[in-house]
A = this chain, B = another copy of it.
């Protein structure tokens, strides 16, 4: 294991969505722990650690990418929570999805809005 990258990754994951992120890593423990390690070291340790863009911007990009690729219900749940945790508002999250309409059409946007509704309602 790569200790410095791993610690940076855990630290970034904690800022974004410590709880949901931890559940993903935990669910990988008995089937593919190295995949969990790659997520922490590479995605959160190497990429999220970089400068130039802040975490709010990184979550904005992540939500746009997840919405566009489709079949990402579980990942959208993690990152809608993550977006809220780093300071994006519910209105901003919905607006990110609306900005995608001209580029991907309504179906993918409706799927993402429906997932956001689920997450927002769970906070009430």
Contact = CB atoms under 8 A, between A and B. Distances in A.
A67 interface: yes
A110 to B, nearest CB: 7
A85 interface: no
Given A28-B113, A35-B109, A95-B50, A104 B104 contact: yes
| Secondary structure class of chain A's binding surface, majority of residues | helix
**Which of A46, A97, A114 counts the most chain B CB atoms within 10 A?**
A46
Interface of A: 2, 5, 24, 27-28, 31-32, 34-35, 38-39, 42-43, 46-47, 50, 52-53, 57-58, 60-62, 64-72, 74-75, 91-92, 94-111, 113-114, 116-117, 120
5 nearest A-B pairs in the assembled complex, by CB-CB distance: A43-B102, A64-B64, A70-B71, A68-B68, A52-B95
B42 A94 contact: no
